[in-house]
Amino acid sequence: MQPDIVVTAPLPPFLYDPLKADYRCHDYYKSSHKPGLLAAEGARIRGLVQGGGTVTATELLDALPKLEIISVFGVGYDGVPVAYCKSRGIKVTNTPDVLTDDVADVALGLILMTGRGFVRLNRFVHAMEWEKRAPELTTKLGGRKVGILGLGRIGKAIAARTEAMGMKIAYTGRKPQAVPYEFIPDLKSLAAAVDFLVVACPGGAATRNIVDAEVLAALGKKGTLINIARGSIVDEGAIVDALKSETIKGAGLDVFAAEPHIPAELLSMDNVVLLPHVGSATRETRQAMGDLCKANLDAWFSKRKVLTLIPELM
Ligand code: 8YV
């Protein structure tokens, strides 16, 4: 008999269709009567599929007494109550590695777009301004310093890309690593030392709003904030204030606190580049993420094994 699984996020057809072929899927995300769905099917459900940013409430998991595995379609699992899952022996898997390069490309793109003013200059050409005057001069990136908050797989891929452009690299994190980059233990000091502060650490309670008004003040007028990780890590009100008061030079943001909502003030600013959370959004990578998300479920239900268990549960 096909295992019952519940789906709590919108999934692309290249993941959802194969899931439907092998599992009895219950679409909690689209359901207009969620309590009814849980009452009717909850006791049978053995798997849950969610997105990277999806917040899974423990109340939902309480209604799934037979749940064995949560397979996250994404690398971030900040929306999963990990301690709760551990206590119930629920496996949690994610999709690391397959998206690392694409997310790092977006960070590099945001550095180029903000530092070299490419988005503003693109608008300049479209508005026929070039016919009237010379384009602005921007900032040379070679020799500038990038500070990476969270030197994990994605942070390291960002370091490799920016290093190739002749930029200097510093980083902060829980501990120094065996890498040829400068370790600065404290986030505020890192911000003070760099031209681009790149947020690349996991979201969740431990990192909520750690990039706050003080860190942004330390980044200062020379500095640009880049975020490709989670909106929750940066105090969004503080970014708006810092940009409005020109406390920082600019920002390149792919992630936001309440996606897809973006604070109106950010939309009208010229020194901000905004993307709609597209770090992993290439056909190739989303397919690979979908394949891995399903492969984790398949391995669990056929062999009681998973491929990419999250580190906290290892
Ligand atoms: C995806 C992400 O947009 O991997 C993550 O943690 O945030 C993104 O790659 C998301 O997971 C799709 O559900």
In a domain, 279, yes or no: no
> Which atom of ligand 1 is found nearest the CA of 76?
6
- Distance, CA of 154 to CA of 100 (rounded, Å): 5
We report the CATH number of the domain holding residue 43 as: 3.40.50.720
**Two structure tokens written together for 121:** 């200059």
So what's the pLDDT on residue 294? 98
- Please indicate, yes or no, whether residues 111 and 92 belong to a single structural domain of this protein: no
Q: Ligand 1 in contact with 28 (CB < 6 A)?
A: no
Q: Which of 129, 259, 284, 312 is catalytic?
A: 259
Give 99-155 pLDDT, tens digit per residue.
999 999 999 999 999 999 999 999 999 999 999 999 999 999 999 999 999 999 999
Q: Residue 89: inside a domain, yes or no? A: yes
Q: Which residues pair with 199 in a beta bridge?
A: 149, 227
Regarding the beta carbon of 306 and ligand 1, being less than 6 Å apart is answered no
Distance CA 50, CA 74 (A): 8
Residues 202 and 244 in one domain: yes
Atom of ligand 1 nearest to the CA of 277: 3
* Cβ of 219 less than 6 Å from ligand 1: no
Q: Please report the pLDDT score of residue 149 as a whole number.
A: 98
134 and 214 belong to one structural domain: yes
Answer yes or no: do 156 and 181 share one domain.
yes
The residue whose CA has the least distance to atom 13 of ligand 1 is 51
CB of 232 closer than 6 angstroms to any ligand 1 atom: no
Question: Same domain for 91 and 106?
Answer: no
φ, ψ dihedrals at 76, nearest 5°: -80, 135
Q: Is the CB of 77 under 6 A from ligand 1?
A: no
Indicate whether 32 belongs to any domain: yes
Q: Which of 7, 29, 75 to mutate to test the pocket of ligand 1 (most atoms within 8 A of CB)?
A: 75
In a domain, 207, yes or no: yes
Say if residue 85 is in the same domain as residue 128: no
Q: What is the pLDDT of residues 140-191, one digit of tens each?
A: 999 999 999 999 999 999 999 999 999 999 999 999 999 999 999 999 999 9
Do residues 192 and 256 share a domain?
A: yes
- Distance (Å) from CA 75 to ligand 1 centroid: 6
- Asked if residue 99 has its Cβ within 6 Å of ligand 1, the reply is yes
Atom of ligand 1 nearest to the CA of 280: 9
- Counting atoms of ligand 1 from 1, which one is nearest the CA of 230? 7
The answer to whether 240 and 266 have CB atoms below 8 angstroms apart is: yes
Question: Is the CB of 94 within 6 Å of ligand 1?
Answer: no
Is there a domain that residue 307 lies in? yes
- Mark whether 55 and 151 lie in a shared domain: no
Structural domain boundaries, residue 302: 4-98+284-313
**116 among known catalytic residues:** no
Q: Quick one: 141 and 47 in the same domain?
A: no
Q: Give yes or no: residues 265 and 141 share one domain.
A: yes
Q: Distance (Å, rounded) from C-alpha 113 to C-alpha 122?
A: 10
Q: What does the pLDDT look like over 49-78, one tens digit per residue?
A: 999 989 999 999 999 999 999 999 999 999
Joined tokens for residue 73:
């379609």
DSSP 32: S
Q: Could you tell me the distance, in angstroms and rounded to a whole number, from the CA of residue 51 to the centre of ligand 1? A: 6
What is the pLDDT averaged over residues 19-23? 98
Phi, psi dihedrals of residue 36, rounded to the nearest 5°: -65, -45
- Tally of structural domains, the chain: 2
pLDDT of residue 154: 98
Q: Is 259 a catalytic residue?
A: yes
Whether residue 140 is found in the same domain as residue 251? yes
Q: Are residues 196 and 167 in the same domain?
A: yes
Choosing from 26, 161, 277, 286, the catalytic residue is: 277
What are the residue ranges of helices labelled H in 153-282?
153-164, 187-193, 213-219, 236-244, 264-267
State how far the Cα of 155 lies from the Cα of 201, in Å rounded to an integer.
8
231 lines ligand 1 (CB under 6 A): no
> Is 24 an active-site residue?
no
pLDDT tens digits, one per residue of 242-288: 999 999 999 999 999 999 999 999 999 999 999 999 999 999 999 99
User: Residues 26, 161, 230, 286: which is the catalytic one?
Assistant: 230
Residue 239 one-letter amino acid: I
